[in-house]
Every structure is written in C-alpha cells, then in structure tokens.
Amino acid sequence: MKPIPEFLRQLKAIFRPCSSPEMKQIYTNFLREKEDSRVTMLHREDLYMPGSPNTECSPYMIDLVRKHAGHEILDIGCGTGVNSIELLKTGFHCTGIETDPSYVNKAKKHFPAFVMNAEELDFPDKSFDTTILIEVLEHIRNPTAALSEIVRVTRKNLVLSVPNISALPFCVEHHTIMHHFFDSSHVNFFTPPMLKRFLEQFFPDVQTGEFGQFFNLSGKKLFYHIYAIASF
C-alpha cells in the first residue's frame, strides 16, 4: 500500500473531484439550509443542478495535450480559461469558445474567446491544428453535430476527456453513486469502448485510456475519467 502523502499527491493529478468530507459538508449545509427555511420537500431540480466550470486544470490532460497537440488549439467549452491559460505558458496559441458570456468575459482577458455553440462553429475549414474538449462532451446536446464541426475546423487531431461510468457497477456494491450523476447538464455518458466507437465514426485513428485512479473496498482499480486522442 502506498503511503498517504504519495496517495494525496496522485489525487492532485486528476481533476480533483471533491473529497468525501468536502462533499459530506456540502450536502449537510445544503439540507440544513433547506430545513431552517422550513422547506417541506425538495424537487429534482433542487438536487440535480449544473456545476460551475473547473477552477483548476488537470495536469494529466495538460501534459497529454502538450504531447499531442499542434500549435494552434481550439478550446471548446473553455469556461473561464484555466486549460488554455496553462497551455499558453508553453507557447501554444489558444482560441476558446463557451456558451456562457460571463465565462467568456473572463477567458478573453488572456486569449481570444467567443460566445459560440459547439454544434455551429463560426470558423473557416481547417482553422486549427488541434481541438480540445476537456470534460465537455458530456454536456453537448448534439454530440454528433459537434464532432462533425470539429472535423471540419481541425487539421490534425482532437484531444478530449469525459467522466467514466465504468465504475458504476462497482460503486453499487457499496451503495454509492458517482458525483457527476448529480450534474443536470451531463447528458451523455461513456465507457471507454463506447467513447472509442463514437469517435471512430469521425476519425480513423482513436486511442483511449483511463486516468484519475481511485479504489473501492474490494481493491478493484477504478478511474474517474476517460481520455481520447482522435487523429486523422
């Protein structure tokens, strides 16, 4: 068994979902607030809500993008720009799109960013070497249309990550559920084989893998995320 400090170091290399104590406190505070305000019942929309954009980038995905991306990058679903800001440090040129104008206003302080929908990209054909979708594909209502547009504007490849639902059967053993199921904006769900098959409809070469390892009580290795590198 790895010592605790090493385990904590590895946790920082993933997207850092909230730890169990953090989540417990969040849920406890939420329920206490509702009870104190004398709410008589909660509805689905009270519990299943969209989350805020990532405030920290994933070192694992940033390394993957640096290894495989071309110089010109399109960051779809850039949020406030955390991933592109990190990529700018090593010489990449990034352009971002996002549907929320308030996020775009923050991102464009650092790089070109636009309010735009992934299903209708307002860029000429083959404008970018690489497109990145870091924890975004699960949110897109029409992923087929989005991938068709990505193929149109991309010269080299697509690098992406999504939540991994492969752990679900093992979580059920311990009466738990993965936290991303409570995000109402997650409308697409993938296992590694599913993601690979989906991307192979658009790209001839697709590599997938898992990262963000955690363990259940049985010792089974489980992973929070799936990555993919889809190339022409």
Tens digits of residue pLDDT in 33-68: 989 998 889 887 777 666 666 778 889 999 999 999
Q: Which residue has the tokens 């904590």?
A: 8
Q: What is the CATH number of the domain that holds 147?
A: 3.40.50.150
Instruction: Give the best-scoring range by mean pLDDT among 4-8, 140-144, 166-170.
Output: 140-144
Domain range spanning residue 68? 61-231
Cα 169 to Cα 99: distance, rounded to the nearest angstrom = 33
Q: What is the pLDDT of residue 3?
A: 43
Q: How far is CA 122 from the centre of its chain?
A: 23
Structural domain contains residue 47: no
Whether pLDDT at 76 is above 60:
yes
Structural domain contains residue 217: yes
| Stated pTM of the model | 0.80
Cα separations (Å) of 64 from 8, 14, 117? 21, 12, 25
Please write the tens of the pLDDT for every residue from 125-142. Answer: 999 999 999 999 999 999
Number of domains in the chain: 1
Average pLDDT, the chain: 86
If one compares 174 and 145, the residue with the highest pLDDT of the two is: 145
3 state SS of 214: strand
Question: Do residues 111 and 74 touch, judged by C-beta distance below 8 A?
Answer: no
Taking alpha carbons only, the member of 118, 39, 30 closest to residue 76 is 118
Structural domain contains residue 93: yes
Q: Rounded to 10 degrees, what is the CA torsion of 69, 196, 56, 46?
A: 150
Residue 123 DSSP symbol: S
Structural domain contains residue 42: no
Structural domain contains residue 144: yes
Structural domain contains residue 220: yes
- Radius of gyration for the chain, computed over Cα atoms and rounded to the nearest angstrom: 19
Structural domain contains residue 173: yes
Structural domain contains residue 40: no
